[in-house]
Amino acid sequence: SLPGVYIFEDDKGKPLYIGKSINLRSRIKQHLEGYRTAYTKAVHYVPLTKTLYFKTVFNDLEAIILESNYIKSYQPRYNDILKDNKSNLYIIFTDPPNIRILKTRSSDIRTLELDNYEKQVFGPYTSSNTATVLLKQIRRIFGYCLSPFNPTQRMCFNRHLGHCPGACDGTISRSEYNSHLGKIKKFLSGRFKTLKKQLTANIIKASKKLDFETALDNKNELLGLENTLTTQTTSLLLSLSDANDQLLKEIPKKLNHPLLTDPPIRIECFDLAHLMGESYVGSMAVFENCSPSKSEYRHFKVRQPDKSDPYAMRQIISRRLNHPEWGRPDLIVLDGGIPQLSVVSSVVPIGIPVITLAKQKEIIYFYDDLGAVTSRHLDLDDPVLNLFRFIRDEAHRFANTYHSRHKAKHLVSQD
């Protein structure tokens, strides 16, 4: 029942798949007992496994960081194949002199042209929640600057909240801030013992110099670090990650869709909004690993003459599919019923599963392997249905927000 990291290795000792869990025994058992089921990813690598290696750790934060370090070092084949690398997130430190801490996707790292990849890039984090929570913990424990050494010396947002050491307003020098960032890098590398020793030494050194403010800052960082390593924050994070993985595995099983054999990591949902057939707009909400990826949401103005819901829906999806750089969806969800399914399916490339979710009755429709419309009636409290409803509601909210803005601009232009 201990947290840790596990590695499936082939007969040459090369890692095939690396994962983490808050309960190693339970998670490994799931892999070994469930690999014969076609919709589980374990079917790909368990038959090739010669050795199963696992490492227990003292806390769940270590499991998160150790997994990311192992994946980065060994680049296991099936972590890449079974989960789109573009969905993996990294925490990066930009090039000097004005170093910023950013969260970015692997597809965007190349555009940054970093000087030292090994020392500036931390990850991958296979869940967007993981990267987000790590950044929040870094901000809470250490603090970091959002606009370091800007010419105006205007305080950044973190500085206003007391979570920035003052690189934005000139309170500390570049060398002092670089030293501060070194502590954050040790944290992200999982070098907790080294970091504790450094903070303790800093406290003693500052106290001897009667620099009590610096001593207090380091003491607060040390207490924050120890608190993070002993509280349940990262346990909840890992539990959420495990639960999301399990929920995604349930989708192919519950739907039995002929094109949906693997868990859909990236789900896109489309909706429309209009006022009595006027000011037609559409929206696309994107979920990755069961979490909204709001930076990838898109909205569309529906062009004439498509003034019926099914054909308007077909238009916005056709336009979306003209952007392969947005990534390939593992599943498309439409707000609607059989008419939307019939019209839209004609423009979706072969191999991408499409379903519709009808309001009120909450019935799921899609085409079976014979090309006939089939339906699924899931219990109203089913987690899979609730996920689809949540995604649909997000698309609906985003469409209505854009429609309200669009309508307001239209009224102003008429005046």
User: Mind listing the pLDDT tens digit for each residue in 326-371?
Assistant: 888 999 999 989 999 999 999 999 899 999 998 778 899 999 999 9
| pLDDT value of residue 34 | 65
313 within 8 A of 343, measured Cβ to Cβ: yes
> Which of these, 334, 209, 325, lies nearest to 268 by C-alpha position?
334
Pairing of β 15-21 and β 51-56 = unpaired
| Class of the domain covering 4-82 | alpha beta
| Beta strands per DSSP E along 146-297 | 266-275, 278-288, 291-292
Question: Could you tell me what percent of the chain has a pLDDT over 90?
Answer: 41
Q: Could you give the dihedral angle defined by the CA atoms of residues 280, 284, 285 and 286, in that order, rounded to the nearest 10 degrees?
A: 180
Q: How far apart are CA 156 and CA 159, in angstroms?
A: 5
Beta sheet of 51-56, edge-to-edge order: 15-21, 4-9, 51-56
Sequence-distant (6+) residues with CB within 8 A of 75 are none
Quick: pLDDT tens for 140-184.
999 999 999 998 999 999 999 999 999 999 999 999 999 999 999
Q: In what order do the strands lie in the sheet with 101-105?
A: 101-105, 89-93, 121-125
Copy the structure tokens of residue 362: 């909450």
As a whole-number percent, the residues of the chain with pLDDT over 70 amount to 85
Q: What is the pLDDT of residue 130?
A: 76
The whole-model pTM stands at 0.52
pLDDT score for 107: 66
Cα separation, 397 vs 66, whole angstroms: 38
- Report the 10 Å Cβ neighbour count for 305: 9
Task: Match 């206003």 to its residue by tokens.
Answer: 160
Q: What is the residue-averaged pLDDT of the chain?
A: 84
Q: At the topology level of CATH, where does 256-414 sit?
A: Nucleotidyltransferase; domain 5 (3.30.420)
Given phi > 0 = left and psi -120 to 50 = alpha, else beta, which region is 109? alpha
Which position has the higher pLDDT, 134 or 333? 333
The answer to whether 202 touches 214, Cβ cutoff 8 Å, is yes
pLDDT of residue 39: 47
Q: What is the pLDDT of residue 38?
A: 47
Is pLDDT above 60 for 32?
yes
Strands (E), 2-67: 4-9, 15-21, 51-56
Please state the rounded mean pLDDT for residues 82-95: 71
Gyration radius of the chain over CA positions: 25
The band of 414, judged by pLDDT with boundaries at 50, 70 and 90, is very low
Q: How far apart are CA 388 and CA 335, in angstroms?
A: 10
Domain boundaries in the chain?
Answer: 4-82, 96-233, 256-414
| Distant-in-sequence, close-in-space partners of 293: CB < 8 Å, separation ≥ 6 | 128, 286, 287
